[in-house]
Amino acid sequence: MSRSLSHQASCGPEPETVTARSHLGFLAFTTLCFFAASSTPTPLYHLYQEAWGFSASVLTLIFAVYAFSLLAALLMGGSLSDYLGRRPVIFGALLLQIVSMLLFIFARDVTWLVAGRLLQGFATGLAASALGAALLDSDQAKGPLINSISPMLGMAVGALGTALLVQWAPLPLMLAYCFLLAAFVVQAIYLGWVAETVSRQPGVWQSLKPSLHVPQQAQGMLWLVLPVDIAAWALGGFFLSLSPSLLAAATGSTSPLNGGLAVAALTLSGALAILTLRQREPVLGLWARAFCRLVWR
């Protein structure tokens, strides 16, 4: 009996446990990479402006294209993985993201950037819904927390990592995208070993019809949260699109680290707020977020 117990202890965790943990880590890392890619262009926008001479209004258009395509993907494809399965939707999103990385790497003018951001937004929307559902399928205890902080951490890593590469590495307009391209290719290959948690169901085409539904018991809280959420995401969009150019104009410094640090400070503080306030009363969290918005102003 004791020999059997010692043998089990020496063998370590069961293979199924190790596999489940590795798959959870893969899903979390893939989510982080998608959102890192979304903020990667931020430290580069000022360089693009200098190289191609486009205005701030064109810059906001480039960012808006990403935001609207992401929203379209969430509205139309948010439940797609419930019918096709998690893996096919994640794989499709990875393929779109790979194409968008290639567009950024070989970009020659603003049209390439717009096309890249359009594809990237749609890929991120599909991935966010499918990866988020897969994380909940894999671990209902840790999944919600990973879903909450991975986007924030990813945007911080993308913006700050790209800024560091631009500052001290060669190929400033290409290298960050090359690293991400390699990561997405590896993830697309590894996905073949990830267990599927959903069986195919009929009704795929019907699921593409945009629909919004809020449970009756949640509508009151929704209207309370909505203004703060709109303000938070508006501020995030402002930082992700214009902060490098505005910081350069205000400080006279053209260092890409300024924009990368600004985005990282914003997103990391958001992740920290989630970690510290997730067990608090919802109203306390709303007041904290509203106060932070006033401070940023």
pTM for this entry: 0.84
pLDDT score recorded for residue 3: 45
CATH of the domain at 116: 1.20.1250.20
Binning pLDDT at 50, 70 and 90, where does residue 237 land? Answer: confident
- Identify whether the C-beta of residue 100 lies closer than 8 Å to the C-beta of residue 41: no
User: Is the residue at 203 inside a domain?
Assistant: yes
List, as own/partner pairs, every contact residues 231-238 make where C-beta atoms lie below 8 angstroms and the sequence separation is at least 24, other chains included.
231/290, 231/293, 232/289, 232/293, 235/266, 235/293, 235/296, 236/266, 236/267, 237/63, 237/67
User: Is the residue at 234 inside a domain?
Assistant: no
pLDDT tens, residue by residue, 194-220: 988 888 888 888 878 877 777 778 777
- Of residues 263 and 35, the one with the higher pLDDT is 35
Arithmetic mean of pLDDT, 254-279: 83
Structural domain of 149: 19-209
- Identify whether the C-beta of residue 147 lies closer than 8 Å to the C-beta of residue 134: no
Task: Return the exposure string of 273-283: e unless at least 16 CB atoms fall within 10 Å of the residue's CB, then b.
Answer: beeeeeeeeee
How far is it, in rounded angstroms, from Cα 21 to Cα 15? Answer: 10
User: Is the residue at 77 inside a domain?
Assistant: yes
How far is it, in rounded angstroms, from Cα 98 to Cα 123? Answer: 9
Q: How many domains does the chain have?
A: 1
User: Is the residue at 132 inside a domain?
Assistant: yes
| pLDDT higher than 90, residue 34 | yes
| Residue with the two structure tokens 């932070």 | 292
| Residue with the two structure tokens 């999944």 | 143
User: Is the residue at 270 inside a domain?
Assistant: no
> What tokens does 84 get?
């096709």
User: Is the residue at 273 inside a domain?
Assistant: no
User: Is the residue at 291 inside a domain?
Assistant: no
pLDDT score recorded for residue 5: 39
> What tokens does 265 get?
């400070």
User: Is the residue at 140 inside a domain?
Assistant: yes
